[in-house]
Amino acid sequence: MLHGRVARGLWFGLGLSLLLGLWEVAARITANPGLFPPIGDVIWAFIVWWRSGLLVEDVAESIPRALLVLALAAPIGMTIGLALALFRPVRWMFDAPLQLLRSMPPVALLPLFVLWMGIEWQAKVFAGVFVCVFPIAITTAQAARTIEMTYRELATDLRLSFATYLRKIVIPGSLPGALPGLRLAAGTSFVMVFVSELAGADAGLGYRISLAQLSFQAALMIAGLLVLGTAGFLTDLALTRMFRRVFQYAGR
């Protein structure tokens, strides 16, 4: 039996070749490279896209926007989450409306934001932030309530001021719990970037994919999707790593 990294690498390679093999077989069976291109075509489309310089342009347009959305949504969502957990009146006032807003499909909100703010980048960022705040707020609130239940008594018995309680107990205790919400939000932010570029743009991954669709370039569409997927995956990985580093104490 193989152990550790080598075994893991081998299994990973096996899984990947299995998926690629299935793809290749499906492409041969359908025998319509225009609609269902084999891997070779997709790789070629990717290389052409890269060489043209448009790939860099598209990535530079879309990815920073997704990250900006996340960077703005995180502090807003965490603050709302803490307020919901700590102040009952806030919870009573805003919990139900929040649940309602959260239940609206993010994509469905976009037309309204476009109507309000046009198709400039501000509209796209605003729409992204608006929908990304909810998962972050809700997971932060849950984590903060657990902290409240565990440590409120301690804070009272030690006669801690509210500021100290917040700074030393609630914030460091709750923020690690925001990670699942942040990961959800990261996924959503990429969805929003993609969709908002369908609504009007002149560059970006979403724009490129929709353009490729209009010109029946399935290979380029798939290449675009793979780039988008990879960016999402790397963001998720970075978030998880960062949280593990910053909040080393979580889970101990």
Partner 1 sequence: MPEDEACDVVDLSDIRVRIADNDILRDVSLRVPSGEIVALMGPSGCGKTTLLRVITGATAATGIRRVNAKYGVVYQDLKLLPWLSVMDNILLASGSADDSIADARALLYSVGLEEKEHVFPYELSGGERQRVALVRALAGGTKFLLMDEPFSALDFVVRHRLVEQVERLVRGKGISLLFVTHTLEDALALADRILVMKQGQIVGEFANDRRYPDAAELTRDSIVRLFEEGSAQ
The contact set with partner 1 (CB under 8 A) reads 150-151, 153-154, 156-160, 164, 168-169, 172-173, 247, 249, 252
Decide whether 177 or 232 has the Cβ nearer to partner 1. Answer: 177
Residues in CB range of 150: below 8 A, 6 or more apart: 173
Closest approach of partner 1 to the CB of residue 51, in Å: 50
Closest approach of partner 1 to the CB of residue 139, in Å: 18
Residues in CB range of 190: below 8 A, 6 or more apart: 66, 228, 231, 232, 235
Decide whether 5 or 252 has the Cβ nearer to partner 1. Answer: 252
**HEC string for the chain:** CCCHHHHHHHHHHHHHHHHHHHHHHHHHHHCCCCCCCCHHHHHHHHHHHHHCCHHHHHHHHHHHHHHHHHHHHHHHHHHHHHHHHHCHHHHHHHHHHHHHHHHCCHHHHHHHHHHHHCCCHHHHHHHHHHHHHHHHHHHHHHHHHHHHHHHHHHHHHCCCCHHHHHHHHHHHHHHHHHHHHHHHHHHHHHHHHHHHHHCCCCCCHHHHHHHHHHCCCHHHHHHHHHHHHHHHHHHHHHHHHHHHHHCCCCCC
Closest approach of partner 1 to the CB of residue 175, in Å: 10
Closest approach of partner 1 to the CB of residue 252, in Å: 4
Residues in CB range of 99: below 8 A, 6 or more apart: none
Closest approach of partner 1 to the CB of residue 176, in Å: 9
Decide whether 3 or 157 has the Cβ nearer to partner 1. Answer: 157
Decide whether 110 or 169 has the Cβ nearer to partner 1. Answer: 169
Decide whether 17 or 150 has the Cβ nearer to partner 1. Answer: 150
Closest approach of partner 1 to the CB of residue 148, in Å: 13
Decide whether 153 or 202 has the Cβ nearer to partner 1. Answer: 153
Closest approach of partner 1 to the CB of residue 154, in Å: 5
CB 204 within 8 A of CB 193: yes
Decide whether 25 or 154 has the Cβ nearer to partner 1. Answer: 154
